Structure 1
Amino acid sequence: MIAAPFSQACENNKIPIVEQLKKIFTTTSKVLEVGSGSGQHAVFFAAQLPHLIWQPTDLTVNHYGINAWRNELPSPNLKPPLELDVSAAWPVVQVDGIFTANTLHIMSWELVKLFFQGVGKHLALQGRLVVYGPFKYQGQFTSESNAQFDLWLKAHDSARGVRNIEDVVQLAQSVGLALTSDTVMPANNQLLVFEKQQHEVR
């Protein structure tokens, strides 16, 4: 049996995040998780949100870890992972919830743009997008640790980096999404909630 991968960050933030998701996804029926990573969030959130279907996605190379967690902590509402590359066609038609954690600073800015285009295409009207991670405000980091993290990201790949919230909100608006809340989370992270209020704007 393959050992399930473990992320300490996922372990640390899963409870604060799910407490928010319980309020955000009250009437949501299906959530597409973009970039499920180790799979820890998927198994925990699905168990805590039994009223909805949780659909993990990631590149195929990460599916073994997600499935290892599914085998260890199965839930009837947790689906097998799907292949999702934001630069290719998405494996869903429409969902009323999308969740992603710690992904926008890992993607290049071009991929962040493609991510929002995909959200605009596949999120239903009145559906909600939830984005978790660190952000800058008016070009300023919210903490010294986030500034150091940004340097570390860029040292590994110059296309990576902590994103400006204003740029992210503008991208969201371009596909018909409005920012409805911005919650301060532990470890200098934010939880952004967007609602699909109109069809994708071109």
Structure 2
Amino acid sequence: MTDGPEPWEPGSGPVAADKRHAPATARNRDVILAVLREELPPSGLVLEIASGSGEHVIHFAAALPALDWQPSDPDPAALASIRAWRAQAGLPNIRPPIRLDTTADWPIARVDAILCINMVHISEWAATVGLFRGCARALPAGAPLILYGPYLEADVETAPSNLAFDRALKERNPEWGLRHLPDIDRIAAEFGFGRTRRVEMPANNLTLIYRKQGRKSGKREGATPWSHSGAN
């Protein structure tokens, strides 16, 4: 036995200590960070939806100190883990975590960017609909919603590992599972978002950038609030 955090994932039940460890975090945090550097505004408040163990937000806040970070999760166990990691890190730009269920009223009114990692496939479809609905209310025009995770694409062969993962998720909960990217694009459009970038990531994952459509006050027609790379 060691004093390190115990491996855990959403829905896996209680563990002995507050501080949890999601093994995938160490593998994907730097490649996600590289995209965040290109897509996030230079300053402002970033809301992370479904922060899970809290390890991602600690890593990103340390690397991007000009941004303020608001972690959130609907799971009390996750909130306890985030608080434990936050206390250990002692970073001034991480706010205390808030309980946020995307299907309910959000306890935060306005943010400058939203990040959501590995939630869409480990939740019911209503959570994704609620995510875009809430983002439409909380984000200004041109602001990014950044999604990370595995998706199904009609013109891209699905990796056998992703198919097996999809089956395993559905065995745990029939309403979970990998989502078809056109369905994500469709619900995004219904709430006024357009996909501006698709980035292939390791282990058959994608990072998807959606930006809220419409003009931002004080910006000329066609200008974007923040510079970002073109679509892949």
TM-score > 0.5, shorter chain as reference: yes
Aligned-pair distance for 1:28?
A: 4.4
Q: Which runs of 5+ in 2 are unaligned?
A: 4-16, 216-232
Greater percentage in helix: 1
Residue 27 of structure 1 corresponds to 42
Partner deviation per Cα, 1:94-149 (whole Å, 9 max, x = no partner): 11100000000011112211221111111111110000000000286531100000
Identity %: 35
1:39 aligns with 2:45: no
Q: Secondary structure at the match of 1:56?
A: strand
Aligned positions, number = 199
1:10 aligns with 2:10: no
Q: Is the 8 A contact 2:103 2:126 kept in 1?
A: no
1:155 partnered with 2:207: no
Secondary structure at the residue paired with 1:126?
A: coil
Give the partner amino acid of 1:119. C
Q: Is the 8 A contact 2:41 2:112 kept in 1?
A: no
Q: Distance in 2 between matches of 1:141 and 1:77?
A: 41
How far apart, in 2, do the equivalents of 1:6 and 1:142 lie?
Answer: 28
Matches within 5 A, 1:72-83: 72-83=88-99
Counterpart pick for 1:65 among 35, 58, 81? 81
Matched with 2:65 is 50
1:191 aligns with 2:207: yes
Contact 1:96 1:123 in 2 (8 A): yes
TM-score w.r.t. the length of structure 1 is 0.94
* SS in structure 1 at match of 2:20: coil
Consecutive unaligned residues in structure 1, runs of 5 or more: none
Aligned equivalents of 1:59 and 1:159: distance in 2? 18
- State the shift of 1:74 in Å: 2.0
Q: TM-score, normalised by structure 2?
A: 0.82
Contact 1:108 1:159 in 2 (8 A): yes
Please tell me whether the aligned partners of residues 96 and 126 of structure 1 are also in contact (alpha carbons under 8 angstroms): no
Going from structure 1 to structure 2, the CA distance change for 1:141 and 1:117 (only over 3 Å counts) comes to farther
